[in-house]
Amino acid sequence: MGSRQIQIFSDSQLVVHQVNQAFTAKDISMTAYLQHARHLLTNFDTHLISQVPRSENSHADALARLASALELSASLGQARRVRYSSARYLIINNSLYKGGFSLPYLRCLTLEEGNYVLREIHEGICGNHSGARSLAHKAIRQGYFRPSLYTDVQAFT
């Protein structure tokens, strides 16, 4: 590692105090986590771990509020489908992308952006007023995606 000093910020007061050895870990899984964290800290000459209050960490606070507001399905099948489908998406520079096996990342579009892209591909300077399926594949080849792309294209043409 090139760094010899590290500064760590955590929103968990318990974790901060356990790593700083002010508290002891009582749970077996927490003890294993704590040992691993302390082992990683031996790679640095100096380290500083400090707790950031939630009032000063608006991003973590917003995520916590969002997570507590969501209701997850009790159905294991539906929960598994959500977990698998969400694994295909990622955020790059505040834009949502859908990853594919044989395709590059496809930028997810809003309804307005999707309509604009379809109109440009269909009627633009290079457009040839193609059919619905062809238009959808052209949009994908250009790197764009909408969950309702095929139905949008059917309605558009």
- With a cut of 80, say whether residue 20 has pLDDT above it: yes
pLDDT category of residue 22 using cuts at 50, 70 and 90: confident
Per-residue pLDDT tens over the stretch 77-129: 887 887 777 788 888 888 888 887 777 888 888 888 888 888 888 887 656 66
| 8 Å CB contact between 152 and 114 | yes
| 8 Å CB contact between 108 and 145 | yes
Rg of the chain over all Cα atoms, to the nearest angstrom: 24
Domain ranges of the chain: 5-53, 81-157
Q: Residue 63: its pLDDT value, please?
A: 66
Topology, domain 81-157: Endonuclease III; domain 1 (1.10.340)
pTM above 0.75, yes or no: no
Degrees (nearest 5) of the Cα angle 141, 125, 154? Answer: 55
Which of 15-24, 68-77, 81-90 ranks highest by mean pLDDT? 15-24
- Burial bucket for residue 91 (CB in 10 Å: 0-12, 13-18, 19+): exposed
